[in-house]
Amino acid sequence: MINYSWRDFDKSVEHIANKCKFLDFSGIYGVPRGGLCLAVALSHKLKINLISNPIKNSLIVDDVYETGFTLNTFKDIEGAMFFVLFSKIKPTWWNTVHISEKREWIVFPWEDTINLQSDRDEYIKKRGIS
């Protein structure tokens, strides 16, 4: 299990901001729900408007790339750039700050730790991970 702290998050925001600071984006879109905290933080840091739908030349962010199901939805948006905090596979067309093991459970600071075990059990059951 990875306990990802607010300090870790701030370092990741800084890392992404440094990679993107000279690029011109039409806006930043955070994939609900996991990408929203990251999108808001980057919006402030880079002074880029937060947008409610991904558009051409936007920065699209999420918390985790696992199966690709979510980000693949946006893959063909012209000029878009993609960042995730964690990727569970080696990135090809998206960018990541951290690479983690496929089975690694990540606890983000904004998550409800009271329901941590039941959330993890449901996740494992849903994906057939043993």
Q: What is the CATH number for 47?
A: 3.40.50.2020
Query: Span 60-85, mean pLDDT?
Result: 96
**Domain of 10?**
2-127
Q: How far apart are CA 98 and CA 82, in angstroms?
A: 14
Q: How confident is the model at residue 104 (pLDDT cuts 50, 70, 90)?
A: confident
The predicted pLDDT at position 116 comes to 65
Q: Structurally, how many domains does the chain consist of?
A: 1
pLDDT at residue 28 tops 70? yes
User: Could you tell me where the beta strands, DSSP code E, fall in the chain?
Assistant: 2-3, 28-30, 59-65, 81-87, 95-99, 106-107
pLDDT at residue 25 tops 90? yes
Percent residues over pLDDT 90 in the chain: 76
29 contacts 61 by C-beta, under 8 angstroms: yes
What is the pTM for the complete model shown?
Answer: 0.88
pLDDT at residue 44 tops 60? yes
Tokens of 17: 């901001």
pLDDT at residue 126 tops 80? no
